[in-house]
Chain A
């Protein structure tokens, strides 16, 4: 996904989430966060690793400071739930990564810091400046963790890669095995996370996967609450090219009245292909999207 477009979508999503009551989020899905763990680590003024305070059970205390900023934060005081407490008691090397920022004035947990996460946290902090200059290098670094067995790392990688420009993103399509893509797509709880899986599925070249994408686009067009409408439309254009553009136009632009949200989702798909897809599709996309732009005026 194009960075600017992605940021636009991100801002829109952030706005929608901020303006809606918190509990109006999907109640049955694992939410797809606007910020990645790397964002939070890089934004933190103070970072510590914490374990249970032996003098005050069920609370955390800092055992190592990773980043010390300014001003000096108050002592770490966070409740330690029973389940995490049990995990910590079983593994001496395990800790909890916590951050404090003057903006919130509160400590918060960022992640369970395991052996596999620790070097990544280090790399994130070390590469701060380099990644500001070369964002593609940041994506490339995290793409290496797309199939990592630790979900904290594979989830982090998914968020980072999904923000990348579409033409960079699809270069990593073979990093996640097809069976994993299908398994994840079959899990409705991961609905908000399916975007990357859909885009990668469109790159497998397997006819069954392409048929699944076509069916999904047809099916989603029938319902107002379909999720990942943008990703499925991008995927259809990826596999069917001109025919895909025409079909999406029929379903959304030339058919019955569509909600502004549906139209925005389709426009976003077109825009991504227009800016980062195959050159031969750019004119047809511009033609398809023109009525919308006229309508906008």
Chain B
């Protein structure tokens, strides 16, 4: 319809002057209320990114509440919704923008101990252990009480088996979560963390329910005292679904502290994994939390020596203080290598046990999901801004009798990370959870850059610039988390990728495709391709741009400018090395220009010297869930 007709059609009472009668207007053109006009009436694909943290601890986690966190789920949710909250150490805290969703994922073990001690809960005082700890805390011996709890837990012994208390704490969290869940505005999920830590190796998972309070109330959180075997957690989730008709998923994290257990090709009980295991794992654990305060887990530079961006906040000294890292553990700890192992296992078993999508989360124990460098409230209350041990607090310590301290990890080594970006159509539990299940999600290290990717067989090079490229992407391809199959001879997968910087953040350096594939010998390979770079730099025939973006960071001033980099990067990319017989995955990594780290901001704000070896300049990044190709 031309503009004249559009104007005419907008007149409800159409009276045509004589001079205009040569314009042919038919009855069909006068169609208000009769025909469809809006092009969006039948659109149902995800068209918004919702930001959230799926891993946030409050005072109801014993390792938070017993060491200074006084903020419960309600405060955590208020902070996530954008309110100003006073931190446990008395510092006013507020996010730059509210989050869209939050999972209060408190440790299931001895849930709610600290708040119940604080309030001298009568039920707690009836429990002999609870009373002892209560009295110790009230007498100023809280650390000793915490030590006693931790010791018992470290050998898998439940120091205070008390279902009544667990029920009380769980119900309170459920109530707070339900109070804040506002469909269309803010989503609060019911969930918890299962803290399996056999011999101090990290096997933790966060369990997230899709459902309402009634269903969540019908169970109690599964604890490490129930079992440390992930397959038992899946049994628990399966039983939950059967009992309630609800849905649950679990998100593993901290593979870097698992000593090779996280992506092992044996079950926890030591048997080789099989097809049933692989299918079951991917049913219950479709996502992996790839980045968080305790280290970034995308890739390890020793496994990816040709990837100059892989060296990013590795925590690779060992487990939680008992055993030093050994090189053969690394492939079973990092996401990229696990995705590669997944391809190998799929070829062998007929199912891929590590076909996971990727999200980031904070794992903050302060109740404050603050993941920006200039607004980082730390891992624990004792390391909040301005506290004495902000830098040198031990997040994990060398517990070996003959240790040399090399397993100590200090708070200055933590990273202000991460967030989950979820592609969905509306902000509800159902829509967000479903997006997680289908892996249409991505991770960032704390900022909110927008990333979208589609893969298909027949995209044209200029389509990525179309305003409706997402329509084309969904109609003729698959989004992040999807599967490509049925390649024809001579075809290669084509990708349309767009990235937009955080509105309140740094420009973008580059967009990369990370490809993993199974070669003709059945061995997994990987390669990094630069597919869009800023500032007119060139990508060479090897698919790499070797020219760094530069840096505008003034470390002393903890500042940077967006005078380098680009606000938007878009790429059309066709795999130049595609072999239709070879299984493959592709995920997108987007890098921001260099910016100051939280340590640099703190040094300026508190006029202190940085710890030796601390990262002062870094590049925030996003990792999308992969797209897999299966022959």
A interface residues (Cβ-Cβ under 8 A, vs B)? 17, 21-31, 33-35, 37, 40, 57-59, 79, 81-84, 86-87, 90, 108-112, 152, 187-189, 191, 219, 222-223, 225-227
Contacts and interface: CB of A to CB of B under 8 A. Distances in A.
Given A21-B155, A25-B401, A83 B327 contact: no
B325 A79 contact: yes
B147 A90 contact: no
Contacts of A35: 402
Contacts of B144: 223, 225-227
Nearest to A34: B401
A82 B151 contact: no
A273 B322 CA distance: 36
B539 interface: no
B401 to A, nearest CB: 6
A81 B404 contact: no
Interface in B93-136: 135-136
A27 B149 CA distance: 10
Contacts of B89: none
B143 A188 contact: yes
Interface string B448-478: 0000000000000000000000000000000
A219 B147 contact: no
A231 B401 CA distance: 21
Contact of A82 (B314, B320, B403): B314
A59 B147 contact: no
B301 A23 contact: no
A75 to B, nearest CB: 15
Given A27-B150, A28-B147, A81-B317, A59 B327 contact: yes
Contact of B154 (A27, A59, A81, A87): A27
Given A109-B406, A110-B404, A82 B311 contact: yes
Given A58-B302, A59-B327, 14 more contacts: A23-B200, A25-B399, A30-B394, A30-B408, A33-B403, A57-B301, A82-B311, A83-B314, A83-B409, A109-B406, A110-B404, A152-B405, A187-B389, A225-B145
B300 to A, nearest CB: 8
Contacts of B199: 22-23
Interface string B310-344: 01001111001110111100000000000000000
A90 B150 contact: no
B148 interface: yes
A109 B148 CA distance: 30
Contact of B401 (A31, A86, A90, A223): A31
Contacts of A17: 401
A28 B327 contact: no
B146 interface: yes
24 contacts: A17-B401, A22-B399, A23-B154, A26-B147, A26-B150, A26-B399, A27-B147, A27-B399, A30-B394, A30-B398, A31-B398, A31-B399, A57-B301, A79-B326, A79-B327, A82-B314, A87-B613, A109-B406, A187-B389, A188-B143, A219-B139, A223-B139, A223-B144, A225-B136
B325 A81 contact: yes
Pick the 9 closest A-B CB pairs, nearest first.
A188-B143, A82-B314, A58-B302, A27-B150, A23-B154, A81-B317, A87-B613, A225-B144, A81-B316
Contacts of A87: 612-613
A79 B326 CA distance: 6
A23 B389 CA distance: 25
A57 B151 contact: no
Nearest to B312: A82
Contacts of A152: 405
Contacts of B404: 37, 108-111
B305 interface: yes
Interface in B550-609: none
B327 A226 contact: no
B538 interface: no
B400 A31 contact: yes
A112 B153 CA distance: 32
A30 B424 CA distance: 46
A82 B297 CA distance: 13
Given A57-B305, A79-B325, A81-B325, A24 B151 contact: yes
A26 B151 contact: yes
B167 to A, nearest CB: 27
B154 A24 contact: yes
A197 to B, nearest CB: 16
B39 interface: no
Contacts of B612: 87, 90
A84 B410 CA distance: 13
B491 interface: no
A219 B135 CA distance: 11
Contacts of A82: 301, 311, 314-316
Max chain B C-beta neighbours (<10 A), residue from A24, A57, A82: A82
A82 B148 CA distance: 33
Nearest to B314: A82
Contacts of B394: 30, 189
Nearest to B319: A23
A109 B199 CA distance: 22
A97 B141 CA distance: 39
A111 B404 CA distance: 6
Given A189-B397, A225-B144, A226-B144, A28 B301 contact: no
Nearest to B394: A189
Nearest to A32: B401
Contacts of A21: 155
B140 to A, nearest CB: 7
Nearest to B199: A23
A146 to B, nearest CB: 18
B402 A27 contact: no
B181 interface: no
B509 interface: no
A57 B310 CA distance: 14
B440 interface: no
B413 interface: yes
A33 B402 contact: yes
Given A23-B199, A82-B301, A226 B141 contact: yes
Interface string B274-304: 0000000000000000000000000001100
B315 to A, nearest CB: 8
Contacts of B398: 30-31
Interface in B140-171: 140-141, 143-148, 150-151, 153-155
Contacts of A37: 404
Contacts of B406: 81, 84, 109, 112
Nearest to B325: A79
Max chain A C-beta neighbours (<10 A), residue from B146, B326, B327, B389: B327
A30 B397 contact: yes
A65 B198 CA distance: 38
Contact of A222 (B139, B326, B402): B139
A115 to B, nearest CB: 13
A31 B151 contact: no
A152 to B, nearest CB: 8
Contacts of B200: 23
B159 to A, nearest CB: 12
A112 B408 CA distance: 13
A23 B157 CA distance: 12
Interface in B390-426: 394, 397-406, 408-409, 413
Contact of A28 (B146, B317, B325): B146
Contacts of B400: 22, 31
A227 B324 CA distance: 28
Nearest to A27: B150
Given A81-B316, A83-B317, A189-B394, A29 B147 contact: yes
A25 B399 CA distance: 7
A33 B320 CA distance: 17
Contact of A79 (B67, B153, B324): B324
A66 to B, nearest CB: 16
Nearest to A152: B405
Contacts of B140: 219
Contacts of A57: 301-302, 305
